[in-house]
Structure 1
Amino acid sequence: MAGDKDTLLGMGFDAARVEWALKATGNRGLQPAMDHILEHEGQPVPDLGGVTETKGGTSSNEAMDVDDDEDAEALKSLGAVAGNAVEAKSIKCSECGKIFKNTALANFHAEKSGHDQFEESTEEVKPLTEEEKKQKLAELREKMAEKRAKKAQEEAKEHKASEAIRRKAGKDINKIKEDMKLKEALKEAEAKKREKIADAKAKAAVKAQIEADKKARAEKAAREKALRDGQPLPGSADSTPSTSAARPAAAAVASVAGRDFKETRLQIRMASGGQPYTTTLPSDEPLRSVAEYLAGQTLSVDVDNVTLSQHFPRKTFSREDFSKSLKDLGLTPSAVLIANVP
């Protein structure tokens, strides 16, 4: 009946097994259908078209019982069975005392409980009353609800653990990225700091050289004037300080120029005047790269005709110097060049 089917489906039984049980028991009620489902729990559901419905209120199992009774009577008539032998009506668990209608139910109990001691019993399994049916249904529903709740808790716990792992992995990745950015920022700041220090030293050295050159020119002009006027030449005591002052300046320039700078900043002034050009080249580049850069900036410069020179220290670079690196020529980390075009 539809009510029994809905009840069994509400208890969580598979729909195919419910259909099988109802058809096999001839829709004789809830209890026979439940017994059928429990008896055939481990068996696959057959094609329902080949399942024979019970007729006249007698199931296939009951028909087998009738055949067994007839066989027993035949054996008794042949003297194979004692007339006073008692017929077993159920199977009893010796460990817990529960009785079962057939072997399938006893085996099901053994799998669930682990009990393995059974014996035949003359006790007859009484059909459940309506009250007992309701109680059993309530118990089954409660067990199903507990299983669903437990499964839901386990799934929620697994989901929470997975979410925690995912968040931790995300935090770790973000921390690694932040650490890398911080290291790069520190590295860049340190490089800029070293660059500023090098620039300051280079400017100080160039300034010292300029002052020394000015003093040397002033002394030279004083000596030339003394010679023209017939005056005595300035004493060696006066010239000694200028020489001693020029030496530290030259040493400072040499010290700065001798350091290993990867890049060289250049300011290139045209001898004919105009705005200077500024660029930064690798220190290993030859001096010819400066001429090529200048030729790319103005049409008035030709790489093969332009000459480059320095005011401080005063020097004019030859064509052979064009193949030498900026570092070897002492132009690092920065220098001012004068470009002359014929």
Structure 2
Amino acid sequence: MSSASDHDVLVGMGFPADKVLLAHPGDLDEPAEGETLGGEPSGKPAEASSSKEDDGEIQDGEQTAQSLMCDECQKLFRDASAAERHATKTGHVQFSESTTAIKPLTEEEKAEKLAELKQRLAEKRELRLLQEKEEEKNREKIRRKTGKELTDAREKLEEREMQKALLAKKKEKEEERLAKAKIKEQIEADKKERAAKREAAKQANLQHRQEEEAAEAARVAQASKEYTEARLQIRRPDGQPITHTFQSTDTLQVVYDHVTPHIIGPFQLATTFPRRIFGNSEMGKTLKELGLVPSAVLVAIS
């Protein structure tokens, strides 16, 4: 039951409307000025004068309104304030005056109604406390659920961030490994290239020394002995070298004519060390005059 209906109960018990304050039930004991509790106003005569007091009969139409009645639910109300509260609570709007007087409550009935009202108020307070506790439990459940969801979301986010960090670290390590492998390959390639260059230089120096030794031996032999033959090795631009023994008195033209069928295109003859290219002016000179006796290595230059 709402506070408005409790108010109606108290008013129905005879308490004055301006004294019915549920927050201050002690005020209910004091009647309004000019009224008696559950009775008529104090200033009203005890006996109403009437022109027909002798027989107590009234004519039709002389009835006076004793209350207000709701035409929709047939409930009686002491005054317009009570009817207005009923209309607000129920939505009923059809009211009419009634000649039926609302019987005043006895003191026992008033006490019983008041005790019942207090009981209902206590039950309402207890119910409100239970509802508030239940609502607090529900709010606590919602807070816990929300907190758990936030915690789960935070943990998932941290897990994703950790996975990202691990993947980034793994990628960084892989890139570092590839970079180190590439550097190592480059170092190995540089080592091989330097070794190949050293080997090539070594072979070139060895060949150079051999040629120097051969030339020196030829000069020594020529100085100590008179040779009549010259053994020449002619290196072609491609293919195997040509080796042939000529007379020391043969000219360079004889050597050129001997080599020409084995080489495609024009060419010139030259010594390897010291470097000397023979031109047309040397074609008529003998091999002895050119210092090619007893042996020499010539190169055919295209």
Greater share of residues in helix = 1
Structure 2 length as normaliser, TM-score? 0.48
Larger-gyration structure (1/2): 2
Structure 1 length as normaliser, TM-score? 0.43
